Amino acid sequence: MRFLSVRHRGAERAGILAGDEIALLPPEAGDLVSLIGAGRDIREAAIAAARATGERLPFAGADLASPIARFGRDVLCTGWNYWDHFEEGRGRRDGQDVERPKAPTFFTKSPDVVIGPNDPIAFDARLSQKWDYEAELVVIIGRGGRSIPQGRALDHVFGYCLANDISQRDLQRRHGGQWLKGKSIDATMPLGPVVVTPDELDVPNIRLQCAVNGELLQDALVAQMAFPIAELIAELSFGMTLHPGDVILTGTPSGVGNAREPQIFLNDGDEVVVRGDGIGELRNRMQAQDLVGASEIRIG
């Protein structure tokens, strides 16, 4: 099944994909986070109502919003989860190189980064000179838990979607090499386009791609992950409760702009497309906005 959120008549409504149409869920079902957290009987009743009597909209041309737009915590993220991406960055981390990690590397992003799958990505060259792209598969947690055994970890997954983890490399280096600041700029991370339940996907064989202005720059299989999804969930939940609706980015493959020769960074007007087999695509354009305001801070 494929869940989504659409802007319709001045509000965001949750829905399901029914062929080439969107069937809206009843308003009382709430957003997708509410639906994920509801009991199975409540969720199935809302889905049945959408199929039977829900208002229908064409999927083509629909104004899609991020399927997850309400967060109880930061966006949870994984770094260096494709070894080819880890290796391509050697010598390009401005003296902040580390040894290959023996366990997953985690960080978080502010929820204010999240935008819809076709929304413009905020861009301000005064804030950063090094805007980079990162195609990622995203896990949406369906059943919460703490210290989840790896063998049962996938039972806690509600579904999968895509993200473009837009990063500002100079901000990332400026603040000691930690990733929070260089990946938390407002309105810079597209999420979506739909959340697909696991039964409809061959997850290891999802081909993850990113193209900029029509040029394919990232292309890898999810099976190439250094730490597979079940291990990520087990490690992340170790002593730490995961909640229904939590969003987990699972890392990006090689081909990022910062590691290329010559380097490729995004600019105003660039179109960035992230694709994933069986999920669809994010199609966004960089759009100049004032992100600096009255701040006296300057980068570079």
Give the bridge partners for 58, in sequence order.
Answer: 21
Q: Is residue 92 scored above 80 in pLDDT? A: no
The CA-based angle 112-118-120, given to 5 degrees, is 60
Query: Is there a single domain that holds both residue 44 and residue 79?
Result: no
pLDDT of residue 95: 61
Q: What is the DSSP letter of 225?
A: B
pLDDT of residue 211: 99
pLDDT of residue 89: 79
The answer as to whether 130 is a domain residue is: yes
Parent domain of 42: 2-65
Q: Looking at residue 279, which CATH number applies to its domain?
A: 3.90.850.10
Q: What span, in angstroms and rounded, lies between the C-alpha atoms of 203 and 2?
A: 15
Strand duo 189-196 + 114-115: pairing? parallel
Give the bridge partners for 56, in sequence order.
Answer: 23
Mean pLDDT value across residues 257-270: 97
Mean pLDDT value across residues 25-53: 96
Q: Which of 254, 257, 255, 263 is nearest to 84 (CA)?
A: 254
The CA-based angle 96-101-103, given to 5 degrees, is 140
pLDDT of residue 178: 81
Query: Is there a single domain that holds both residue 194 and residue 134?
Result: yes
Helix, strand or coil, per DSSP, at residue 34 = helix
Query: Is there a single domain that holds both residue 184 and residue 272?
Result: yes
Q: Is residue 299 scored above 80 in pLDDT? A: yes
pLDDT in tens, 158-217: 999 999 999 999 998 888 878 999 999 999 999 999 999 999 999 999 999 999 999 999
pLDDT of residue 237: 98
**Are 197 and 65 spatial neighbours (Cβ–Cβ below 8 Å)?**
no
The answer as to whether 40 is a domain residue is: yes
How far from chain centre, in Å, is Cα 192?
7
Q: Is residue 36 scored above 90 in pLDDT? A: yes
The answer as to whether 294 is a domain residue is: no
Query: Is there a single domain that holds both residue 141 and residue 268?
Result: yes
The CA-based angle 299-167-241, given to 5 degrees, is 125
Share of the chain above pLDDT 90, in %: 92
The answer as to whether 296 is a domain residue is: no
Q: Is residue 82 scored above 80 in pLDDT? A: yes
Strand duo 215-221 + 247-249: pairing? unpaired
Query: Is there a single domain that holds both residue 49 and residue 158?
Result: no
Burial class (CB in 10 A: 0-12, 13-18, 19+), 125: middle
The domain total for the chain is 2
The mean predicted confidence, pLDDT, of the chain is: 96
Query: Is there a single domain that holds both residue 156 and residue 245?
Result: yes
pLDDT of residue 90: 82
For residue 132, what are the contacts with CB-CB under 8 A and spacing of at least 6?
Answer: 166, 167, 168, 169, 256, 257, 258, 265, 266
Query: Is there a single domain that holds both residue 6 and residue 101?
Result: no
Q: What span, in angstroms and rounded, lies between the C-alpha atoms of 209 and 194?
A: 16
Query: Is there a single domain that holds both residue 235 and residue 258?
Result: yes
The answer as to whether 293 is a domain residue is: no
| C-alpha distances out from residue 47 to 17, 67, 157, Å | 11, 16, 18
pLDDT in tens, 221-245: 999 999 999 999 999 999 999 999 9
Query: Is there a single domain that holds both residue 16 and residue 140?
Result: no
Length of the chain counted residue by residue: 300
Which of 69-78, 175-184, 187-196, 252-261 is least confident?
Answer: 175-184
pLDDT of residue 96: 63
Place of tokens 């087999």: 277
As given in the structure block, the two tokens for residue 140 are 């949406």
pLDDT of residue 24: 98
pLDDT of residue 175: 85
The answer as to whether 242 is a domain residue is: yes
Mean pLDDT value across residues 16-33: 97
Instruction: Output Rg (C-alpha) for the chain, integer angstroms.
Output: 19
Does 97 or 60 have the greater pLDDT score? 60
Strand duo 157-164 + 189-196: pairing? antiparallel
